[in-house]
Structure 1
Amino acid sequence: MNTACIDRLRELAESITTLSLSHLQPATRAKLHRNDLSVNAYPTEFGGLVYVGSPPHRTPVETDLALIAGLSSNAGIEWLFFDAEGPVVDGLPVFDSEQSTP
């Protein structure tokens, strides 16, 4: 077994957390779906992967995503995976998919 390779892979690993898509406002969800967020994102059929970095690579323009990115950075999380069936996190805002945004 190549332990040096394994150790290096561990050094390069980045943390990820899964969150409910309901933590994003409908407008932000639409931007994620269109791959039009202000930060690096990778849409999926039911949500998407968003890179926030730790320290942050860039602060999202979308206020709902900026809040989550800031908290994630403090937790040392680099990637956020938003999924329609992801867990709801107490303390984070939850938005109805039909809720309008200004």
Structure 2
Amino acid sequence: MTNHLPSPPVFDPRGTVTTAAVSLAPRVRSLDTLRIGIFDNSKWNASKLLRAVMSRVERDASGTTFTRYTKESFSRLAPDDLLDRVAAENDVVISAIGD
């Protein structure tokens, strides 16, 4: 009697990744008077790092406004509606990974 069970699929760790080219946003000449989004990915030290960056920008630029945003979990993607809101409400966004 022969056993005709299907062979399990074999995972190839050398798989290919396809990506679309994305261009970078143009660099701003100055942060003066801009609406700056502060995007915290909720990792342990991200908030600390972003507070230091905000302090530096406040010292060096004039008339800027800040709006803070925080992801619910660093291990999950940010929801599209949050990303859309961040993009619509700001001229530039600063984010950090604070491991």
Question: How high is the TM-score relative to the length of structure 1?
Answer: 0.29
Between structures 1 and 2, the one with greater helix share: 1
